[in-house]
Amino acid sequence: MADFVLDTRLQEDSVEVGNLSLCNVRLMNDARYPWLILIPRVADVVEVHDLAEGAQTLLWREVTDTGRVLTRLYHADKLNVGALGNVVPQLHVHVIARNDGDSAWPGPVWGQGSARPYSRQALGDELDRLRSNLPVSWMMARS
């Protein structure tokens, strides 16, 4: 995983929550939705089939476990999971907790209005909440 480099667009649009066994977990900086992005820490991966079979299984386990946590924490009516990659080709999976009545419901979150960045306090609170509920490792200096 030493050759892994995070795409600059993912880095600019999100904040690190921490690392799972395979994935770097990031919070999308859009307070309208509880929205995590999981990025396998493997160099030069574009599609799920580019991962070794064991890593594919681990990716979906981490997506599933993360989705369960988001559903519980945010009382989600629906979980949206997607690995589009049309703009950012580096493999990454969006895991978004959706609720009936959110600003994009029932449509997709992409292309709906403008992102509303977290305030400094709200971002800190959100990161604390996620880090205490997800089995991530992280370094305080990074947040």
Which ranges of the chain have pLDDT less than 50? 141-143
- Residue 87 resides in a domain: yes
- Residue 31 resides in a domain: yes
- Residue 143 resides in a domain: no
Rounded CA separation 127/27 (Å): 8
- Residue 138 resides in a domain: no
pLDDT of residue 2: 59
> Domain containing 94 — which CATH number?
3.30.428.10
- Residue 140 resides in a domain: no
pLDDT of residue 93: 98
Rounded CA separation 93/85 (Å): 9
- Residue 106 resides in a domain: yes
Rounded CA separation 98/78 (Å): 5
pLDDT of residue 91: 98
For tokens 């993912």, the residue is 10
- Residue 141 resides in a domain: no
- Residue 142 resides in a domain: no
pLDDT of residue 143: 43
| Host domain of residue 47 | 8-133
How many domains in the chain? 1
Non-local (6+) Cβ contacts of 130 within 8 A are 17, 25, 27, 36, 69, 73, 136
